[in-house]
Structure 1
Amino acid sequence: MRSRQTFTAVVPAAGVGRRMAAPLPKQYLALAGKTVLEHTLSRLLAHRAIERIIVAIGPEDDTFSRLPLAADPRISWVHGGAERADSVLNALQRVSSDFVLVHDAARPCLAQADLDALLASGTQADGAILASRVRDTMKRGDGWGSIAHTVSRDDLWHALTPQCFPTVPLRQALVQALNTGVEITDEASAMELAGFRPRLVEGRADNIKITRPEDLALAAFFLQQILESET
């Protein structure tokens, strides 16, 4: 029997980031002197509980291997799949730890305090995700560019990452979801379909995912603030 719980982080990084309209996938864009992905991986490696990171990269990716961080013995890689769930599942085949954290490649502003809180809740049977409360008024569109109605923001949350789950149940949940053809937008949705009820761990709203060009400047500011607060 293991004397302590073990954790592996999986980072799906096989996407091309079309909405960025950039010559490189968004995870390889420059941010504060490094690539976005290097910052993301560094935030995970900084936590003492995470022993290993598996990055899922595209089959034609020739950039990852040239990153200085790729030589870190705690980091390995696998080929990703057509969709996020395929990439995560490919990486999970290499995971032997008790728990796995799945984190977006383009989400570099992860605070260590949020990671602490997630790990404390994620070791429960149903797992947990970082999330932030919806603060704005929410509108449902009618499909034609107009408002259909206003949606109550009570109990609405933005799903963030990392998301932490027991390794075996997550692997089984993803296989089941893919076999049934259900669209999986995050790992929690696969666990929900399998009958689990992951916990919501309130995290910082500045844990943003870089999706559009203007997000880079915002991420640089947030990252600087987080690093300064942790020193």
Structure 2
Amino acid sequence: MSPNYWVVIPAAGVGKRMGSQIPKQYLPLLGKTVLEHTINIFLDYPAIQGIIVATSDEDYWWSQYFPIQHPKIMRVAGGKERCHSVLNSLVYLQTLANSEDWVLVHDAARPCLQQMDLNLLIKTLNNHSVGGLLALPVSDTLKRGSDQREVVVTVSRENLWRALTPQMFRFKKLHDALASAIRYGNYVTDEASAMEQAGYAPYLVEGHGSNIKITHPQDLAQAELFLSL
């Protein structure tokens, strides 16, 4: 039996670095919210079985922008940290997914993911026993600084990659790895970290630089540019 593909979008964050009154995933972007753009990437992708969006209990915007429940979209309660939101989503998926199904975890604030990258990720990892993630080789010179912002050392960029999303892993392996990390107080900032701690070696799939994460106000203008191309 062929595995199904599920998407998890942790969207319970408040985006403090944006300096906005509303969470960054609900900021306007070319006539829609950032989150609408992100969700539509996967709604338009036929292989995706369902999309689980983890939102805060204090999220007053979801019902405003998603008043009608789409049959492919499921909403769950998010958690304190990203890893809690993802694990909550995986617990919800336990009644729907098989152990070898694929779960693609994607940042709510990455609305510029290209379909060609999604195609490449799925095609590359389709027969992989664990999974992997979209990533970019580091091209800049890296400096490690002190608390006083003085350069301590120049870090070699050889074999260094920037982790992007989606990060795509087998359902049960990801569930167990995240549950274990959280149980031991390791609140990992991405799914690959949990898999690494569980002894796996996620595969790096080179993605496109347009797959930016909206973190600062200037990122919105850049996202508009990429989405307009």
Q: TM-score, normalised by structure 2?
A: 0.94
How big is each residue's C-alpha offset from its partner over 1:78-113, in whole Å with a ceiling of 9 and x where there is no partner?
010000000000000122331100000000000001
* Match for residue 56 of structure 2 among 58, 64, 77: 58
Q: How does 1:76-225 map to 2 (within 5 A)?
A: 76-95=74-93, 96-97=96-97, 98-123=101-126, 124-225=128-229
Would the alpha carbon gap of residues 224 and 177 (structure 1) be closer, same or farther in structure 2, given more than 3 Å must change?
A: same
SS in 2 for 1:71: coil
Tell me how far 1:71 sits from its aligned partner: 2.4
> One-letter code of the match for 1:106?
A
> One-letter code of the match for 1:179?
R
> One-letter code of the match for 2:109?
A
> One-letter code of the match for 1:115?
L
Contact 1:70 1:76 in 2 (8 A): no
- Identify unmatched segments of 5+ residues in structure 1: 226-231
Fraction of identical pairs, as percent: 51
Runs of 4+ in 1 over 6 A off after TM superposition: none
Tell me how far 1:70 sits from its aligned partner: 5.2
> One-letter code of the match for 2:213?
K
Report what 2:8 is aligned to.
Answer: 10
Tell me how far 1:126 sits from its aligned partner: 1.9
Would the alpha carbon gap of residues 70 and 159 (structure 1) be closer, same or farther in structure 2, given more than 3 Å must change?
A: farther
Would the alpha carbon gap of residues 170 and 82 (structure 1) be closer, same or farther in structure 2, given more than 3 Å must change?
A: same
Tell me how far 1:122 sits from its aligned partner: 3.1
How big is each residue's C-alpha offset from its partner over 1:2-42, in whole Å with a ceiling of 9 and x where there is no partner?
3x220110000000000000010000000000000000000
Contact 1:122 1:129 in 2 (8 A): no
> One-letter code of the match for 2:70?
D
Distance 2:148 2:84 in 1: 33
Distance 1:121 1:93 in 2: 26
Tell me how far 1:184 sits from its aligned partner: 0.1
Contact 1:121 1:128 in 2 (8 A): no
Aligned residues: 223
Tell me how far 1:68 sits from its aligned partner: 3.9
Contact 2:81 2:187 in 1 (8 A): no
Distance 1:38 1:92 in 2: 22
Contact 1:64 1:70 in 2 (8 A): no
SS in 2 for 1:155: coil
Contact 1:38 1:69 in 2 (8 A): no
- Identify unmatched segments of 5+ residues in structure 2: none
Distance 2:202 2:3 in 1: 19
* Aligned-CA RMSD value: 1.1
Contact 1:131 1:200 in 2 (8 A): yes
Distance 1:135 1:109 in 2: 20
